Amino acid sequence: MFSRVLGKTLGFVGYTIQYGCIAHCAFEYIGEIVVCSGPSMEPTIVNKDVVFSERMTRHLCKIQKGDIVIAKSLFDPNMNVCKRIIGLEGDKVCMSGPSNLFKTQTYVPKGHVWLEGDNLTNSTDSRSYGPVPYALIRGRVCLKITMTWMMKNPHRHMEKL
């Protein structure tokens, strides 16, 4: 009796570990679903929009200017940010101050990217904290799932970005 219960328990633990490893690999190397919050990417991505962030592009170093990415926050490693890539390493980017009167140019250093939100007046981004290391990029946003659009169009709920 005890050996049968032990055998079933170990079998269950084995399957749980296997499926956990598969799920971990899928989220780490293929992609993940992310709920975006905040106004920094409006009107492209609004508060509570759900997006799919694929990870293969990041691993293959195929991130391009104009891509929207999910990156680890420089200030809180438990938080992610959603921003658009404005510059890659070696690019010259124009930085404007809060009043937009004083514009300066800077170069994106090797191994870094320049990130900005689409809503420039309401976004904390590279204009505030500088270039972001490429290693902090988690994935590239490739699909947006808008909840209000899903309610109006129940058969079509994804928008390619």
Question: The dihedral of CA 34, 38, 42, 43: what is its sign?
Answer: positive
83 is catalytic: yes
Q: Residue 82's closest CA among 67, 61, 98? A: 67
Active-site annotation holder among 8, 37, 40, 72: 40
Strands (E), 37-101: 50-54, 68-72, 80-87, 92-96
8 is catalytic: no
Question: The dihedral of CA 147, 148, 152, 158: what is its sign?
Answer: negative
Active-site annotation holder among 53, 83, 126, 144: 83
Dihedrals phi, psi of 47, to nearest 5 degrees = -55, 135
Gap between the Cα atoms of 106 and 102, Å rounded: 13
Residues labelled as active-site residues? 40, 83
